[in-house]
Amino acid sequence: MSMPLLTTVVLVYLFIVGFLTIKAYRSTNNAADYMLAGREIHPFVMAMSYGATFISTSAIIGFGGAAAVFGMSLLWLTFLTIFVGIFIAFVFFGRRTRIMGLNINAHTFPEFLGIRFNSRGIQGLTGGLIFLAMPLYASVVLMGGAKFVAQILSTDYNAALFFLTIIIAIYVIMGGLKGVMYTDAFQGSIMFCGMLALLCITYYKLGGVIEAHEQLTSMKDIAIAIFGAKGHTGWTSFPTLGSPYWLVVVTTIILGVGIGVLAQPQLIVRFMTVKSNRELNRAVLIGGVFIMVAVGVAFVIGALSNVFFYYHDPATTGKIALLAADKNVAQIIPLYISHAMPQWFTAIFMVTLLSAAMSTLSSQFHAMGTSLGRDIYEKALGLSGNSVLITKIGILFAILISYFLAWGLPAFFEGGTAIIARGTAIFFGICAAAFLPMYFGAIYIPRMSKAGAYASFITGTLVSVFWIFFIHEKEAKPLMLCKTLFGVDSLASGTLWTLVDPLVIALPASIIATLIFSRMGSKLPQAHIKACFHNILYFKK
């Protein structure tokens, strides 16, 4: 790896990020600017920011590596992220969220729910859950970025972690959501170009699109010989229905992330940053194309890396991707880049990954900071103060917690990187179960009561936490609470339930609780409902 080339590319990248932050800092004058980017963000910036926030190092390195193991069945997740994560999210959730957000002057996702249900408790609980659960997600993304930087620069992990955290902290605290979204758009553009180049070079190297796919299909017997017992049927076909691999691919990877994307607080807040529905309409086009390239490429390349390592790389001939990377899933994509791509591309990909990590982290820190400052301190606790300053302090707290988690996690989890994809899936699952039915009710069911919102939140959260600690073996085993209390790794040990993702159980439970309780308790005043749904219920555009 050419160090002068790498250093130049990274310095130019950081210079542009710094310039965008200063530009945002100069145009941030009030709380609406700091938390909602002044509600006048350009559709390109909004769409790229949404996409870049969604796609982190976890998606490229973690899930790309997973595609090398499970194969192209993960393309169903690409379909869901475009259809659900962009089309459904923008058209059916985004428009109503934007209008209602303006009607009630909400600045954050918890505030949106709190005002809609006329409950400071809901705002505080939602903000609290975000502040408690999101550091796990932020810390694993931070870890992924720092590990990659440490590996490429041959430096210490803790040093890379420290400097990466400092850089992100400066531009999030200074620029607010404007700074985050401007830099996201720039970083998203880099990711788009980097991933597109990766796809073209890969297909070119493997002899074309159909030829590359056929080579991967012809490796079917190898896949069955190695993973057949768990339901693998080849890298270009779906795992056997009901097998362990099918459960992981469908419940954790495809549904967990594909549905969970609808209830991500750091993404939902972006709907409230644009001036009108026109910007959202335009963002659908930009976001759809961006996600297809950013997510789809990682999954296709991950699966095709098996062909490269097995047939085309002299150093790994006769080895599938997982074995070439010494059974370290998170190592597959970086190894593929360093073996298959030209040297200049490694520098580009380094910046691509840095962009993926930084764009997601900046939004996470902003969401956590506003949850602590605005939602918990100001609203739930009813304390007053300078909104922007309190949020900045909240962001600083969030950064410190995430930093220490990222610093400590590798010491507790062997290999460190294995926790990256898992942390992401846990957070997406909890958000979907705790927030999605309540959020859907907030914008679609005017008669939904406060009791329904509480029931939805509490059921979704408790069932998720129970499943994570006591049933889903991938988490229950390392957390060890089940082992301590009951002497077993999972209460469902020996059954396929241990492989079923928490979301598959917690989301339906939360929906049922919402349906049962949404007609109970005191009704919200009619004037309040009318104010919330102004321009929505009879909105025909």
Partner 1 sequence: MLGLEGIAVPLGMILTVLSTLLCIIYGIKNWNKGYITEEEIAQEREWLQENNKVKENL
Instruction: Please report whether residue 381 would count as binding partner 1 according to CB under 8 A.
Output: no
286/409 with CB nearer partner 1: 286
Angle (CA) 318-324-330 rounded to 5° is 150
Of 25, 27, 39, 345, the one binding partner 1 (CB under 8 A) is 39
Closest C-alpha to 260, from 492, 464, 479: 464
Please check whether residue 56 is in contact with residue 266, taking contact to mean a CB–CB distance below 8 angstroms: no
Query: Which residues, 6 or more positions from 186, have their beta carbon under 8 angstroms from its beta carbon?
Result: 16, 17, 20, 355
Span of 67-75, 143-151, 306-314, 439-447 interacting with partner 1 by CB under 8 A: 67-75
Count interface residues toward partner 1 (CB under 8 A). 55
Q: How far is the CB of 227 from partner 1 (least distance, A)?
A: 15
Of 1, 11, 15, 87, the one binding partner 1 (CB under 8 A) is 87
Instruction: Please report whether residue 240 would count as binding partner 1 according to CB under 8 A.
Output: no
- Mapping DSSP to helix (H, G, I), strand (E, B) and coil, where does residue 77 land? helix
H or E element: which one contains 408?
helix 387-412
Span of 9-17, 236-244, 345-353, 469-477 interacting with partner 1 by CB under 8 A: 236-244
Of 8, 317, 343, 386, the one binding partner 1 (CB under 8 A) is 386
Of 145, 260, 288, 441, the one binding partner 1 (CB under 8 A) is 288
Closest C-alpha to 483, from 467, 491, 423: 491
Query: Which residues, 6 or more positions from 392, have their beta carbon under 8 angstroms from its beta carbon?
Result: 173, 369, 373
Contacts (CB under 8 A) with partner 1, residues 197-216: 209-214, 216
Instruction: Please report whether residue 232 would count as binding partner 1 according to CB under 8 A.
Output: no
Q: How far is the CB of 46 from partner 1 (least distance, A)?
A: 13
Span of 58-66, 79-87, 113-121, 165-173 interacting with partner 1 by CB under 8 A: 79-87
Instruction: Please report whether residue 292 would count as binding partner 1 according to CB under 8 A.
Output: yes
- Give the separation between CA 295 and CA 186, rounded to whole angstroms: 18
244/521 with CB nearer partner 1: 244
DSSP assignment of 83-107 equals IIIIIIIIIIIIHHHHHHHHHHT--
- Mapping DSSP to helix (H, G, I), strand (E, B) and coil, where does residue 164 land? helix
Closest C-alpha to 427, from 496, 392, 380, 475: 475
- Give the separation between CA 262 and CA 394, rounded to whole angstroms: 25
The site for partner 1 (CB under 8 A) is made up of 30-32, 39, 71-73, 75-76, 78-79, 82-83, 86-87, 91, 95, 102-103, 105, 209-214, 216-217, 220, 234, 236-238, 275-278, 280-289, 292, 296, 384-387, 535, 541
